[in-house]
Amino acid sequence: MFLSKLNNGNWYIYYNNSTGKRKKISTKTKFKREALQFLSEFESNIKRQKELKVIPIDLISFKNSYLKHSEAVHRPKTTKALKTIFESLISFCGNPYLSTLTTIELKKFLEQKYLVSPYTAQKYLAFIRSAFNDAVKDGYLEQNPFNKIDNFRLPEQQPLFFSENEFQSLLSIIEDKDLKDLIIFGVNTSMRQMEMLTLKWNQINFKERFLTLDNISNITKSGKIGTVPLNLTALQILTERERTKINDNVFNYKGKSIGQDFMSKKFKKFVIKAKLNKKYKFHTLRHTGVSWILQRGGSMLNVSKILRHSDIKVTQIYSHIRPEDLLKSVELLDN
């Protein structure tokens, strides 16, 4: 095993794999000092692999295996995100054995994503770290190299939401009743997109005015069964749609079920046509409903329950909606 600097200026490690075949791997650096650090960790990983007899598996094979597992236990959206992340990692690292991946190399990969967006980098880290924890359980690794990488510090962001005038502007340019019903229903229930797109009639309790997210049509984000209260606006939409229902889906478009990608793209076109903030997306409807509740005097605790947050601390991102509460508190000092 040795280092060599190629014409592109980067240092490479040349080594023999488990079958005796000569391979090379880039250290992703032009500096010998960093290349030597990379080499040291690489040699340690190779030695550990031989001593512990971890099961050798290359990155592409692990990706294929893990994505099959993901299809069985995760939502389709999660599996799709994992596929994108793995492909990006393979593009950066090539196809080495998992046990030869170094923390230095993986940090460089994530730092590259950080330049695009801190949120992208943190998402990649969380998803791939979880996948590699499974690799440890399956005997492909002794330890997870991503566990040595700290989470990225993310700047706090306030959730975007439509003003009432903006929402009316949005509705005014939507001609299709099916899509308009879905969007109004979204604001009035603060449900997630996939929860609405997979909503079935047997989940609706018209008498008691609630619907049940039962983890049958769609797995909720928390994996827990949830209930959603129905105000009169939401109830009216459901009542009207039930009279003309054509299948088990509550929401359809031209008689067919609605896909997530289709709805997201359609919604973006509506936002642009209405000349609204281009950062608004379908998920903004969820933020909008609870923001209006708080603006009209609703409690943070009830909003947390409507959103089905496991911890009210998660709901605190909406605290800026009611600064008058803080004003009332400091006004007590005036007396």
- Is the pLDDT reported for residue 11 higher than 70? yes
Set out the domains of the chain in order of their start, with CATH numbers.
2-148 (1.10.150.130), 164-330 (1.10.443.10)
Token pair of 295 as six digits:
């603006």
Report the helix count and the strand count for the chain, using DSSP H and E.
14, 6
pLDDT beyond 90 at 142? no
Comparing 75 with 103, the larger pLDDT belongs to: 103
What integer pLDDT is reported at residue 88 of this predicted model? 96
- List pLDDT tens digits, range 53-101: 778 899 999 999 999 999 988 888 889 999 999 999 999 989 988 988 9
> pLDDT for 226-240, tens place per residue?
889 999 999 999 999
CA atoms within 13 A on the CB side of 107: 12
Give percent helix, percent strand, percent coil of the chain, each to the nearest 5: 60, 10, 35
Model confidence at 327: pLDDT above 70: no
For 148-213, what is the HEC assignment? HCCCCCCCCCCCCCCCHHHHHHHHHCCCCHHHHHHHHHHHHHCCCHHHHHCCEHHHEECCCCEEEE
pTM, two decimal places = 0.65
DSSP 256: B
Residue 167 CA from chain centroid, whole number:
25
Q: Are 197 and 263 in contact (CB under 8 A)?
A: yes
* Residue 263 CB burial class (10 angstroms; 0-12, 13-18, ≥19): buried
Q: Is the pLDDT of residue 298 over 70?
A: yes
Q: Are 305 and 200 in contact (CB under 8 A)?
A: no
**% residues pLDDT > 90 (the chain):** 53
Q: Determine the Cα–Cα distance for residues 102 and 78; give it in Å rounded to an integer.
A: 26
Q: Residue 271, class by beta-carbon neighbours within 10 Å (0-12 exposed, 13-18 middle, 19+ buried)?
A: buried
pLDDT for 51 beyond 70: no
pLDDT of residue 134: 95
Q: Which residues pair with 14 in a beta bridge?
A: 2, 24
